[in-house]
Chain A
Amino acid sequence: MPEQNQGVWNTQRNRPDIRLGFDELNYIIKIIKEVADFDFSHYAASSFQRRVYRVLEIYPFKSVQELVNRLRTDAQFTAEFIEEVTVNTTELFRDPEFWQEIRDSVLPSLAQHRNIHIWHAGCSTGEEVYSMAITLAEAGLLDRVKITATDINETVIKTAARGHYPERLFKLYDNNYRIFGGKKELSDYYKIENGSIRMNPELLANVKFRHFNLVGGEVFSKFDLVLCRNVMIYFDKVLQDQVSKLFYSSLFKYGFLAVGSKESLIWCSVSHKFKTISNDNKIYQARV
């Protein structure tokens, strides 16, 4: 599998001329469900279509049928396909204003608890987890926290646990951190070795990674803060509704939920159960 995360996607013009309408996409979804028990039927169609095109481009399949045949016969490929189709782009301190809001509006409230439980739902390659750990460390809360970071994709979980990122990203990350207004330099939390940023593993002292699928997922624990930014944008409204219910049920009394800056809970059935803490940064708090 070619390196994909954070990469610049320039091959779009070389796309194969294969029709990927709804019939073809539904056919692929049906096969994936059969062979891997993985349900993409409530993923947002536009991005799912693009991701499948991307696979067709990387592995030069000549037709949808050829792709389907491979999915039917090659479990390893199917696993790679699922990884490629799910989107894993993220950044350290993406939306610095969001992290300021977490630091200034959420952590003071969490600091009143003896133990703080945080869930990164859809942690991808871990950048949000490290951003959270750094924010907690600077607030003096890192040793009181238990972080659970989950994803459907085992490969990105391994990347997250290792905490190595391409060096070319460090300027972006440093800049994000500077806007966030951290207490130190971001480089105090990593070292650069062999062309990669290597995050200080101590940041993960209280982090547990586990495999978890939000599609059909059930409550497995209770949390003070659930972060799920730019994950539900790949779902349709039906699945968004289902997953937001899961989050509500996974929160302690007055627990917080953070979603991406351009996501909204308005059309979710649990929306009235949340109070808005920050509309700009999409931080909500569960009402009782």
Chain B
Amino acid sequence: MISRPTPYKAIVIGGSAGSFPVITKVLSSLKTPYRIPLILCLHRLKHVRSGFVEALSIKSNIKVVEPFDKQTIKPGFAYLAPANYHLSIELGNHFSLSTEEMVSYSRPSIDITFESCGFAYKQKLLGVILSGANKDGAHGIRKVKAYGGTTLVQDPMESKVATMPTAAIESHKPNHIYSSQKIIDFLNLINR
């Protein structure tokens, strides 16, 4: 069988309320070596600086880290947006952090991370919006698609809290609307 390199340079995933079980399931179901870096922007408590990485790491097949400012993005890692910072991507394949104003009452903001990933990776990006309780991400995922990327939204019927995926579907026409199991299958399928 001829294996072709994956068309994706990065996968960006956004979620808030109800997304944690989906993320942990995704991280524990990825077949290693997983060659595409994952960038996770999840709403989280501002003052709980530690513990989240550890909680996500327990069952994860790939290493979960909170990136430092200007840290290089590498395959085999899931990068979690740190509490109280916005996470963006710079050309030259590294992160940068910012303490700019909150967007939709959120820092990190899914809109900011998605838009910045869209700008940096263009058609080589997969954007995924999961369960969540507000509309952050709806603008960002629309931009991901506008920059040529592929978009995937968790089926609102299956999402614990449907506000975020519903807003994402209303803001643009996603390439895929999948259940969490289909999301996992898809993420494994593109890792070739």
- Could you tell me which A residues sit within 8 Å of B by CB distance? 4, 6-10, 12-13, 22, 44-47, 49-51, 87, 89-90, 94-97, 175, 179, 230, 232-234, 236-237, 240, 260-264, 266-267
A179 to B46, CA, bound (A): 13
Closest-CB distance, A145 to chain B (whole angstroms): 26
| B70 with A9: CB separation less than 8 A | no
**Roughly how many angstroms separate A260 CA and B82 CA in the complex, as a whole number?**
12
Docked pose: A95 CA to B111 CA in angstroms = 24
> How far apart sit A90 and B107, CA to CA, in the bound complex (Å)?
13
Does A10 lie within 8 Å of B103, measured CB to CB?
A: yes
State the interface size on chain B (CB cutoff 8 A): 31
Residues of B participating in the A interface, judged by any CB pair closer than 8 Å: 47, 49, 66-71, 82, 84-85, 88-91, 96-105, 111-112, 116, 119-120, 139
Q: Which residue of B lies closest to A232 (CB)?
A: B69
11 contacts between A and B (CB under 8 A): A6-B101, A44-B98, A50-B88, A51-B100, A87-B99, A95-B49, A175-B47, A230-B97, A260-B97, A262-B67, A264-B70
CA distance A98 to B90 in the complex (A): 27
Asked if B97 and A233 make an inter-chain contact with CB atoms under 8 angstroms apart, the answer reads yes
**Are A87 and B96 in contact, with the CB atoms below 8 A?**
no
A262 vs B66: C-alpha distance in the bound complex, in angstroms?
8
| A237: contacting residue among B47, B70, B84, B88, CB under 8 A | B70
Q: Is the CB of B98 within 8 A of A9?
A: no
- Chain B residue contacts of A95, Cβ below 8 A: 49
Check B100–A47 contact: CB distance below 8 A.
yes
Q: How far apart are B140's CB and chain A's nearest CB, in angstroms?
A: 9
